[in-house]
Structure 1
Amino acid sequence: MQLNHIYKYFKYIPSTIYVNLILKSPFFMTAPFFPIIITSRLKLFCASDVKIRTKNNGDYIRLGYGSGGIGSFEHTGINLEFYDAATLDLSGISIIGYGSSICIYENATLEIGNNTYIASNAVIKCKKKVKIGDECAVSWNVTILDSDFHPWSSEGVANVISEDVIINNRVWIGNNVIILKGVTIGNGSIVGAGSVVTKNVPDNCLVAGNPARIIKKGVAW
């Protein structure tokens, strides 16, 4: 690794310590010591009673990696928002790319599994629960929303505003995909670039389109 890259990572150590202290993250007795590792500029909002939970000692999420999508290393960052009683559950090691925005609203939970990466400029807005499993590959410019965020009705009947989004293990999500509330994506499935996912996706299926529909079954990657 070039010396200038080493310097760029080391200079974020104070940010890493500060963020974990503010979030009251658990402290590990082994490296990497904290569950949130900062390797990017970070804009943080933190309310009260925020919980960072790990399944195992040493589980962590790295915020900041990749090309950044737009601009250079120095001109991209991460937006991280924790509202009252927000929870981040980590079960392994995962990374989120530059330029991403993660919002966990009041009493909501975001779960991220092991060996999962989320590329640059992702948007995850979690009003109730978003779960992303193990070994998932989430490409750039992906948006995941578990809520409409505003009440609405149809023929006088109020609709549910927020529903869980569950992305199971080893799911590949292409760039510019939008995943909406109430969706479960099955193990081993692939979501084609530019898709809008409004309904559940079975295991080992390729879906694509707006709205996304099944293109092939029995896929593997």
Structure 2
Amino acid sequence: MIKKLKMILSNPFLIFRFIVCKIKSIYYSKYIDKGSNGKIIITNPYITIKINKSKGSKLIVNGDVVINSHIGGTNPIIITLGVNSTLKIDGDFIIGNGVRLAVSDNAFLYFGGKDIESGSGITADSVIMCYKSITIGKDFLCAWNVFITDSDWHTIDNKQHYANVAIGDHVWIANNSSVLKGSTISDNSIVASLSKISNKLYPPNSMLAGIPAKVIKSNISWSRDI
């Protein structure tokens, strides 16, 4: 830590980056509701964050939410909370560039944060749209261009179509996958690239792949770090 601080102080550009990140971190942390014990940490001064909170909405953060840049990306991060909605992050969590989180009126979106892995979070350019309830457990690993939702977002035969989504602890969702309404992905599972999960309960320790996704391997284990 001391060595890193000395390196920053010896380089005017790094000093500028450090100051800007610190100021932005303090500013965006003010969006967190009182009673939380967390904060937002900006690591790239060029990433834009837009947090839109409606009346009665809550942003509860118990841990460090690190705003990260994936391979230099600077697409804006957008967090939109509807009336009386709640976004709760219960531990250290990483949100990458281009991530969009939308929580509708009276809805609840939950992330468990980091536990046994070196990190938990969403890499980049993924979208989570919550109509009623989406819960995601600890040690979540989400790649880029992932879409997660609990609703079709349109009426069919004059009826709304939605069902809660639950993703367990220690789940890895690979790039360009979709998790749709009614899905339950149990603990310690992997969703392979380009897969579609929809309206089904999947057992723990499973490798899921395909459209629609099926269990292609059981009793798996995985780790975030190589």
TM-score (norm 1): 0.83
CA 128–65 in structure 1, closer or farther in 2 if over 3 Å, else same: same
- Secondary structure of 1:210's aligned partner: coil
AA partner of residue 205 (structure 1): S
Distance 1:5 1:183 in 2: 45
Match status 1:49 vs 2:56: yes
AA partner of residue 178 (structure 1): S
Q: Does the CA contact (< 8 Å) of 1:23 and 1:46 recur in 2?
A: no
Q: Does the CA contact (< 8 Å) of 1:26 and 1:52 recur in 2?
A: no
Match status 1:202 vs 2:203: yes
Match of 2:117 in 1: none
Match of 1:18 in 2: 27
CA 17–86 in structure 1, closer or farther in 2 if over 3 Å, else same: farther
AA partner of residue 164 (structure 1): N
Residue by residue over 1:29-61, the C-alpha shift from the partner in whole angstroms, topping out at 9 and shown as x without a partner, is xxxxx433344311222211121234x5xx232
Unaligned 5+ segments in structure 1 are 29-33
- Secondary structure of 2:148's aligned partner: strand
Match of 1:144 among 126, 134, 148: 148
AA partner of residue 121 (structure 1): D
Match of 2:41 in 1: 37
Distance 1:105 1:113 in 2: 20
Map 1:183-198 to 2 at 5 A: 183-198=183-198
- Secondary structure of 2:93's aligned partner: strand
Match of 1:176 in 2: 176
Q: Does the CA contact (< 8 Å) of 1:25 and 1:51 recur in 2?
A: no
Map 1:1-221 to 2 at 5 A: 3=8, 4=13, 7-26=16-35, 28=37, 34-39=38-43, 40-54=47-61, 59-67=63-71, 72-73=72-73, 75-115=74-114, 116-153=120-157, 161-198=161-198, 199-221=200-222
AA partner of residue 57 (structure 2): V
- Secondary structure of 1:148's aligned partner: strand
- Secondary structure of 1:170's aligned partner: coil
CA 197–114 in structure 1, closer or farther in 2 if over 3 Å, else same: same
Q: Does the CA contact (< 8 Å) of 2:99 and 2:125 recur in 1?
A: yes
Q: CA deviation at 1:9?
A: 4.8
Question: Which structure's residues are more often strand, by fraction?
Answer: 2
AA partner of residue 8 (structure 1): R
Unaligned 5+ segments in structure 2 are 115-119
CA 195–9 in structure 1, closer or farther in 2 if over 3 Å, else same: farther
CA 37–86 in structure 1, closer or farther in 2 if over 3 Å, else same: farther
